[in-house]
Structure 1
Amino acid sequence: MDATLLLERLGRQIEEMRKSRGLTQVQLAYQSGMTRQKLAEVEKGSPTVAVNFYAKVLAALNAEIKVVSARRPTFEELREVFQ
């Protein structure tokens, strides 16, 4: 499994959790001790963002990572590959 795809999935899950809790990027960034721009990079699953930033956001959301067996990419995830 590609590490970039894993980070993109994690970023998407973080974004969904933020939205489900009714938080804006500005609010969650403040709670996480980072800028809104850095949070946006986390939510995009940027591989250039240090894992520490992902951990800060997860801590602010009172969430954790659960390691599960990999699944195949969805069509939506593959769409960008074939464009």
Structure 2
Amino acid sequence: MDLTVRVKPGSRKGPLVEETEGDPAASVTVYVRERAVDGAANAGVVAALAAHFGVPRSRVTILRGESSRIKRVRVDDAG
């Protein structure tokens, strides 16, 4: 499945995945503690989404937006 994700790096709430309602830009909001430095926040997003959907980290891929807060992410749950 492909998701549009809004990332909140450096959040005290993290790691947390919330379904987003009323946000036309993103279907899921991911709060991560990691700062957006040297890809740390992206790694946190992958880990949080993998844990949320119960899949290995290798099945979560950032398709677009590696340097943006809005990302397109694929979660491959077929196994």
TM-score (norm 2): 0.30
TM-score (norm 1): 0.29
Q: Which has the higher helix share?
A: 1
